[in-house]
Amino acid sequence: MWRVTNSFTVTLGLNWSIQTPPKGEDARQSVPVDASNNQRISANYVFNNRRAAAETGQVWNPLLTWKPIVAGEFDSVYSTQWSNLGPRVAASWNPAFSQGVLGKLFGDRKTVLTCFYL
């Protein structure tokens, strides 16, 4: 925190958060799988199979099903994000207007205007 003047303050900092996937007995998660081979569907899986089929003049349109996640069979639908790091900058101004329109609008040190980037 840096107090530039008695009425203006700048705060610099670093914001870090961890986002964990839902857990618990009722946090049921499932993943889409290709019913023919029980392979989990991902963007790369779809694009690679469609490309291979298109190169031979075929259409790849598999039967999809949803399979619940069982410990050890599939990874979680969500992954824990450990790298949510970002800057935080804030500025606060406490104006001291005692007369005129600004005095009626803001008052004499009765208002604080804050702007922040998170």
pLDDT tens sequence across 91-103: 998 888 888 888 8
For 33, other C-beta atoms within 10 Å of its C-beta total 19
Q: What is the pLDDT of residue 80?
A: 78
pLDDT interval class at 49 (50, 70, 90): very high
Closest CA to 14 of 116, 106, 108, 87: 87
Which of 92, 113, 86 lies closest to 13, judged by CA? 86
3-state secondary structure of 115: strand
The tokens describing 95, both together, are 């104006």
Task: For the chain, give every domain's residue range.
Answer: 1-17+84-118, 28-83
Residue range 57-108, pLDDT digits in tens: 999 999 999 888 776 666 667 777 788 888 889 999 888 888 888 887 777 7
